[in-house]
Amino acid sequence: MSGALRWLREVGRGLVRNPGYKLLSLAIAVVAWLYVQGGQVVEAKVRARVEWPHLESLLPVQPLPASVTLTVGGPRNATRHAQQDDVTIPVDLSGATAGQVTLDFSSLPIHGLPANVQVLKVDPPTIRFTLDEVAAKKVRVTPKLVGDPADGYQVVAADMTPPVVSIRGPRSVLEKVSAVPTLPVDVSGMAKDTEQRVELDLPRTVDLVTDENLRVSVDVEPRDTRREFSTVPVDVWRMDGWRVDPETVKVVLEGPTAAVNAIDPQDVVVFVHLPDPPSRTAYDAPFGPTKGPRLRVLDGAGDDVRAVSVEPSTVHVVRQ
């Protein structure tokens, strides 16, 4: 045991002798390791941005890829830089005509790669797309509404300003476009008229001819609902000594949901209006007329609520 302890002490003293030399040796070893790693040949994936030209009279029918993936090989440091740099592939379509085009990416120049990095593979190596003549037309704008307005409300109109826009794109694509929808307009919880700016949901190869300040005006109003009140009492308006048969009727009221739901059944009453002074001892009073003997429904809810039916629709009144 004592021999082992002496050995450990000797090892410890050796570790702390000449610390400067030991640190220098460690630094040299680290630098050498980094040099070897940096110079090691590796493969890596690099994203290359495709630079498409602007053509005055032709447009692609399909969306074109914004980038391709390069598999490159070279020193580790160089490939790492390539992954961080802006690597581009410029495309020349100056001699292209309308129709199908086959483009070989592997044959195009690649800009931005370090000189000691080699391209091993391009993905995709080729693409096929169709060029078509540029066309323009005017189309209607249709607002796309999503969601539900506040409880008891409904959307009654959604108007666009401007209602028509000019669009530009490949002729074969525009031939299929008769109207352009907006991006979704959320009307959830809406309880009042609202105007807001919107964007269009254009086909991917179609653009607006000019910038437009597109706005949609959404009009909402209370939703009408019906509510039935049974055994509503019937009385003669401001006259005594008359008997009504039947004494109660069923009434259906219609109006904004919130107003109809707030009606207290005790506030609903039906009155018989008779000529003043009466010329007979008995009358039939129907629901509906605005003159002569008639029934009138009072509900205390205001002009927005109206009576749509009374059953029975006619009552008989007799002077007692």
Co-location of 203 and 242 in the same domain:
no
Q: For residue range 187-225, list pLDDT tens digits in order.
A: 999 999 999 999 999 999 999 998 889 999 999 998 889
Give the chain's domain count. 4
Among the residue ranges 37-51, 110-124, 128-142, 170-184, the one predicted with the least confidence is 37-51
One domain, residues 228 and 171: no
Choose the final residue of a domain: 124, 146, 177: 124
**What's the predicted TM-score (pTM) here?**
0.61
- Dihedral sign of CA atoms 271, 276, 279, 281 in order: positive
Percent of the chain with pLDDT over 90: 78
> Pick the residue with more confidence: 224 or 307?
307
Pairing of strands 87-90, 41-51: parallel
Give the CATH number for residue 204. 2.170.120.40
Q: Are residues 15 and 46 in the same domain?
A: no
**Structural domain boundaries, residue 28:** 2-38
130 falls within a domain: no
Residues 214 and 189 grouped into a single domain: yes
Q: Which is more confidently placed, 152 or 66?
A: 66
What does the mean pLDDT of the chain come to? 90
Q: Is residue 93 part of a domain?
A: yes
Residue 29 pLDDT exceeds 80: no
- The pLDDT of residue 258 is 83
Indicate if 193 and 234 belong to the same structural domain.
no
Q: Are residues 59 and 81 in the same domain?
A: yes
The pLDDT score that the predictor gives to residue 256 is 87
Predicted pLDDT at 179: 96
Residues 238, 175 within the same domain: no
DSSP string, 144-213: -EES--STTEEEEEEEEESSEEEEEEEHHHHTT-SEEEBSPEE-TT--S-EEEE--B---TT-EESS---
**What's the confidence (pLDDT) of residue 146?**
97
Q: Is the pLDDT of residue 15 over 60?
A: no
Q: How far apart are CA 256 and CA 306, in angstroms?
A: 10
Which residue did the predictor score with more confidence, 1 or 87? 87
Picking from 200, 222, 244, the residue at the C-terminal end of a domain is 222
Kindly state whether residues 176 and 192 are assigned to the same domain. yes
Cβ atoms within 10 Å of 253's Cβ, excluding its own: 21
pLDDT at 95: 86
Dihedral of the alpha carbons of 149, 153, 154, 159, in degrees to the nearest 10: -70
Whole-Å CA distances, 209 to 35, 162, 167, 215, 235:
56, 14, 5, 17, 70
Report the pLDDT averaged over residues 4-27. Answer: 59
Over residues 23-48, the mean pLDDT reads 63
Question: Is residue 284 in a domain?
Answer: yes
Task: Residue 112: give its domain's CATH number.
Answer: 2.170.120.30
Q: 251 and 288 share a domain?
A: yes
pLDDT for the residue numbered 38: 43
Q: Are 263 and 292 within one domain?
A: yes
pLDDT, residue 117, reads 94
Q: Which of 63, 98, 124 is the last residue of a domain?
A: 124
